[in-house]
Amino acid sequence: MAADVRETVRGRQWSIRLDGESHEVTLVTHEPMRLDVDGHDVLASVIDERAMRASRGAAASRSGRVELRAPMPGLLKAVHVKEGDIVERDAPIVTLEAMKMENELLAPIRGRVAKLNHTAGAKLEGGVVVAVLIAE
């Protein structure tokens, strides 16, 4: 397949000609990889061989441990569970206030609360681990 690729904005936007058709692809965010393809929204992931080997390793040693991370910076308004609690999937774990709105972070799995890293009132950076759950 012959493609003519031109990087129109460095690391962000490409003009790609394929089979006589021109497409514009914009990288909206890296992680997860969101693309805008000719005005349509696409979620993409690139798996190279090294990453595939790494993920196979992770699968082998999987212990059912899940980290709940703050998806954005904000104020931790409330913690709804204690360490040792068994929570159902989708149970509210903490309430995070950002942009004057309160958002509940829910348990992604049914499990035991193994660790709570912050207490109510803490100001959190985006991406920090708030709680660790172990699958039950």
Partner 1 sequence: MAKRSGCEAIHPGYGFLSENADFAQAVVDAGLVFVGPPASVQRALGEKTAARRLAQSVDVPVALGTEPLRDLAAAHEAAGKIGYPVLLKPAGGGGGKGMRTVRREEDLDAAWQGATGEATTAFGQAALYLEQAIMSARHVEMQILADGHGSVVWLGERDCSVQRRHQKLIEETPGPWVDERLREQLGEAAVRIAKKAGYRNAGTVEFLVDHGGRFYFLEVNTRLQVEHPVTEMVTGLDLVALQLAIAAGEPLPFAQADIVRRGAAVECRITAEDPAAGFLPASGVIALVREPAGPGIRVDSALFTGMTVATEYDPLLAKVIAHGRDRVEAIARMRRALEEMRIAGIPTSLPFHRSTLFHQLFITGRYDTTFVAQWEHRTLDELADGAVSAAALAAVLASRALSEHRAVTPVDQPWARSAREDALR
Q: Which parts of this chain interact with partner 1 (CB under 8 A)?
A: 1, 3, 5, 7, 9, 11-14, 16, 18-19, 21, 23, 25-30, 33-46, 48, 71-74, 77, 95, 97-103, 126
User: Nearest approach, Cβ of 46 to partner 1 (angstroms)?
Assistant: 4
User: Nearest approach, Cβ of 87 to partner 1 (angstroms)?
Assistant: 16
User: Nearest approach, Cβ of 58 to partner 1 (angstroms)?
Assistant: 19
The helix/strand/coil state of 117 is: coil
User: Nearest approach, Cβ of 48 to partner 1 (angstroms)?
Assistant: 8
For the chain, the residue count is 136
34 neighbors 42 (Cβ within 8 angstroms): yes
Our CB check for partner 1 shows the closer of 20 and 62 to be 20
What are the helix and strand counts (H, E) for the chain? 1, 13
d(CA 13, CA 135): 41
Our CB check for partner 1 shows the closer of 13 and 117 to be 13
User: Nearest approach, Cβ of 98 to partner 1 (angstroms)?
Assistant: 4
Our CB check for partner 1 shows the closer of 30 and 62 to be 30
Our CB check for partner 1 shows the closer of 59 and 101 to be 101
Closest CA to 132 of 104, 109, 99: 109
Please provide residue 128's backbone torsions phi and psi, each rounded to the nearest 5 degrees: -75, 150
91 neighbors 107 (Cβ within 8 angstroms): yes
